[in-house]
Structure 1
Amino acid sequence: MSYDQIDAPAEGEKITYDEESGLEVPDNPIIPIIYGDGIGKDVAPVAQDVLSAAAEATGRDINWFRLYAGESAREKYDENLPEDTVQALKDYRVSIKGPLTTPVGAGFRSLNVALRKKLDLYTNMRPTYYLDGVPSPVSDPEEMDMVNFRENTEDVYAGIEWEAGTDEVEQVRDFVEDEMGFDSTIHDGSVGIGVKPISEFGTKRLVRQAIEYAIENDRDSVTLVHKGNIMKFTEGAFRDWGYELAEEEFPEQTIDEDTLWEEYDGEAPEDKVVVKDRIADNMLQQLLTRTSNYDVLAMPNLNGDYLSDAAGAQIGGLGIAPGANIGDGRFLAEPVHGSAPKHAGKDKANPSALILSGKILLEHIGWQDAADLVHDAVEQQISSKRVTYDLERQVEGGEKLAASEYAEEIIDRIHELA
């Protein structure tokens, strides 16, 4: 397989995909990595070393394939998202990236969103769980053990909008008011207008992934989070299509909340996943007041953005929040946090979020033993209070380490645990 300005590693094998059997993963896979912008250049190389150590400790070998996007791509290709990068991500299927910054006027609303769309990575999965030793603003952060499934391609993030003062927005206004009859909904004067698409197809494939995850990982419930009391034909439809999908494709494995109370007096059978729904604003407060009642959340794009960040705050913030983008036979891990350019090149940024995003990658390819090593080593390191500056300043008796030192000690712990 040839590319314009990059060469795949000489060693290693491709991960392949079959629609029936899923991913087929060799013990020496080639895995693309994009370092990213800002602190990505600090945290990605050390996260790469940690993941390599976990693979080697379990008798495997990762062959890394460096790709370029954002600033590094502009230097090498004079563009933000070269075709080499997109094609290699498609060819090798499972990959990881650091944070990317989209420059003003660069042609994309977001490089991260552009990658998700080009690869049809329609699910953004964000596990949120507490690690011992992490300072938290809540009294019982250990109650949080939740996995958010956020739809990645639709909703307001589809980017269908028109700017105030343009001919296009006036055409849309005229159509809405004159043709559709909504003559009292848009104020006079300058106005921006956007369209919020939510489809049956997009909803059902997201909810399918969420329910499959819940079944495979012995989770008790999947909650559809929506604002369907107000947006009845978009977010309300999301709720209805979610229930419909559960009934159509998982009738033996799922029950709804009405059935839970009518037939089981609120005690779900061990072999059933309860599918329920909550209004988004109510769900935000239930994250705090009834944290342990929720396992897997399935949400449209914007709700998923808000809810996952709010959940992340309860376990210590986005500095340790991992994430991944998932499609059919393709996967791209990434941290939730941004590129923090003012801290770039200082070897100080916390690499935990990217390392733990790599843990999701290891789980996704079936290397659970390696993933467990990563989790346990990171947790032990944080509990030791020898941490990067962001945690050290919040931990009594903490000792500040550079990002590279922090990662080296995690690797030492992987070796001890293996």
Structure 2
Amino acid sequence: MQYQHINVPEQGQNITIDERGDWQIPLEPIIAYIDGDGVGLDVMPVMRNVVNRAVEHCYKTARKIHWMQVYNGEQAAKLYDGDWFPQETINAVRTCKIAIKGPLTTPLGGGFRSLNVALRQEMDLFVNMRTIKGFSALPSPLKNPFLTNITVLRDSSEDVYSGIEWQAGSIESEKMLDFLCEEMGVTRLRFTQECGIGIKNISKEGSERLVRYAINYALKNNSNSLTIVHKGNVLKFTDGAFKRWGFALAKKEFKAINHQNGRWLLIERSDQEPLIIKEVIADNMLQQCLMHPEQFDVVATTNQNGDFLADMLSAQVGGVGIMPAANLNNEVAFFEPTHGTFERIAGQNKANPSSSILSAVLMLKFMKWDKAAILIENALEKTFASSQVTFDLAPNKDDSNNSISNNSITLSCTDFAQKVIEHF
């Protein structure tokens, strides 16, 4: 395929998906990347260097990633006459199937509400994945942060984040209030003057595809349990339906049977213990993740619940700034750091590349290049433990939760990445 500004590598092969839906990863795949904006230009090149060195260390010349740069955000606007979101980027990512990106800014004074949201919506990346794993050397409010090792699979296509709402006092809001009260017989609105209205939409199709993805993920990754998190005790026809549709799908498509406790399900496996499918009310889940995070493995939940849960879990193990993420569907996998562009330190070689590096680890695990993924993950943990860190992880003398030594050495972005490589 010919592109206007994208240069396709001369070597390497595209990833394919077979008739059964299994991803076929060649030994030398072409993977798209977007450097992004702000500190993306600092962290993304060092991430690629860490990945390249790990792949070479583990597989010698047998495997290699061929990187293909594509554009979004400020870089795209410069190349494509002000177009922040070029269509050829979407086409290239769909062809490559796997991509990794840095943080993106959003145009001021109009344009997309969020380039990240626009990417997810344009490509229907309905699964937001956050893998939250504790590192014992990082600051944490928990005594044993390493007990936290939870993958949150959150729907990103529905719920209150779909953006269906009307401003208080607007004509549209007044029409909706009139319709609810006069046509639908709603009597439980305590205040109807100056009242903003939003719609929470949860569909059977959206719920089923998220839970189906989560069950397949849990089975393929030999997980002990899948927990469906919801607020169905109050929101019976949205969150409650999400849970009911999810359980029904597990029984119909995966032959799940009732657990002996009468609340959960089991999916039998021939070579290991059954996969347990649990259900937990959202507010109780937040409490349990603080007190006993070790009881959870994979989580499937709705959009807003997943947002709250993933950020809380990240705070337990070092903060959102070092957490990886992915946005996925059955045909495209997009990996990304969870932090923003941090314009105030952009270009200073100070930014922490850990989130980008761990997003690459998540990508390598998705590709089943586990040897390289585990190598990087272990090297990163050794680097944290050596108290050689970027400025944001350097201990504050008043911070009793920070286990990094007060004699720590503050490294630049590139020097930190080099220390990771030295621990291979």
TM-score range, shorter chain: over 0.9
Q: Give the conservation status (yes or no) of the 8 Å contact 1:256–1:276.
A: no
Is the partner of 2:232 in helix, strand or coil? coil
- What are the residue-to-residue correspondences of 1:222-261 with 2, within 5 Å? 222-251=226-255, 255-256=258-259, 258-259=261-262
For 2:387, the aligned partner's letter is K
Distance in 2 of aligned mates of 1:230 and 1:122: 25
TM-score norm. by structure 2 comes to 0.91
For 2:151, the aligned partner's letter is V
2:77 to 57, 74, 87: 74
Q: Give the conservation status (yes or no) of the 8 Å contact 1:257–1:274.
A: no
CA separation of 1:387 and 1:261: change in aligned 2, threshold 3 A: closer
Are 2:411 and 1:408 equivalent residues in the alignment?
Answer: no
Question: Which residue of 2 is the match for residue 48 of structure 1?
Answer: 48
Aligned-residue identity in percent: 43
Mind listing any 5+ residue stretches in structure 2 that lack a counterpart?
396-401
**1:7 Cα deviation from its structure 2 partner:** 2.1
For 1:377, the aligned partner's letter is A
Question: Which residue of 2 is the match for residue 304 of structure 1?
Answer: 306
Distance in 1 of aligned mates of 2:344 and 2:258: 49
- What are the residue-to-residue correspondences of 1:188-337 with 2, within 5 Å? 188-251=192-255, 255-256=258-259, 258-259=261-262, 270-337=272-339
Are 2:159 and 1:155 equivalent residues in the alignment?
Answer: yes
- What are the residue-to-residue correspondences of 1:60-139 with 2, within 5 Å? 60-77=63-80, 78-139=82-143
Q: Give the conservation status (yes or no) of the 8 Å contact 2:389–2:416.
A: yes
What's the CA shift string for 1:249-287, capped at 9, x where partnerless? 2225x6547348999xxxxx9521111111111111111
Distance in 2 of aligned mates of 1:75 and 1:169: 39
For 1:62, the aligned partner's letter is I
Is the partner of 1:272 in helix, strand or coil? strand
Is the partner of 2:218 in helix, strand or coil? helix
**1:183 Cα deviation from its structure 2 partner:** 4.2
Distance in 2 of aligned mates of 1:55 and 1:262: 39
Distance in 1 of aligned mates of 2:19 and 2:167: 42
**1:319 Cα deviation from its structure 2 partner:** 2.2
**1:193 Cα deviation from its structure 2 partner:** 1.4
- What are the residue-to-residue correspondences of 1:342-361 with 2, within 5 Å? 342-361=344-363
Distance in 1 of aligned mates of 2:326 and 2:258: 28
Q: Give the conservation status (yes or no) of the 8 Å contact 2:212–2:249.
A: yes
For 1:146, the aligned partner's letter is I
**1:296 Cα deviation from its structure 2 partner:** 1.1
Question: Which residue of 2 is the match for residue 266 of structure 1?
Answer: none
**1:55 Cα deviation from its structure 2 partner:** 1.9
Number of residues of Structure 1 aligned to a counterpart in Structure 2: 408
- What are the residue-to-residue correspondences of 1:3-14 with 2, within 5 Å? 3-14=3-14
Question: Which residue of 2 is the match for residue 39 of structure 1?
Answer: 39
What's the CA shift string for 1:121-160, capped at 9, x where partnerless? 1111111111231121111111111111100111112111
Is the partner of 1:99 in helix, strand or coil? coil
Distance in 1 of aligned mates of 2:413 and 2:238: 44
Are 2:155 and 1:145 equivalent residues in the alignment?
Answer: no
What's the CA shift string for 1:308-344, capped at 9, x where partnerless? 1111111111122111111012100111222222221
Q: Give the conservation status (yes or no) of the 8 Å contact 2:233–2:240.
A: yes
For 1:63, the aligned partner's letter is H
TM-score norm. by structure 1 comes to 0.93
**1:217 Cα deviation from its structure 2 partner:** 2.0
Mind listing any 5+ residue stretches in structure 1 that lack a counterpart?
264-268
For 1:3, the aligned partner's letter is Y
**1:237 Cα deviation from its structure 2 partner:** 0.5
Distance in 2 of aligned mates of 1:119 and 1:257: 41
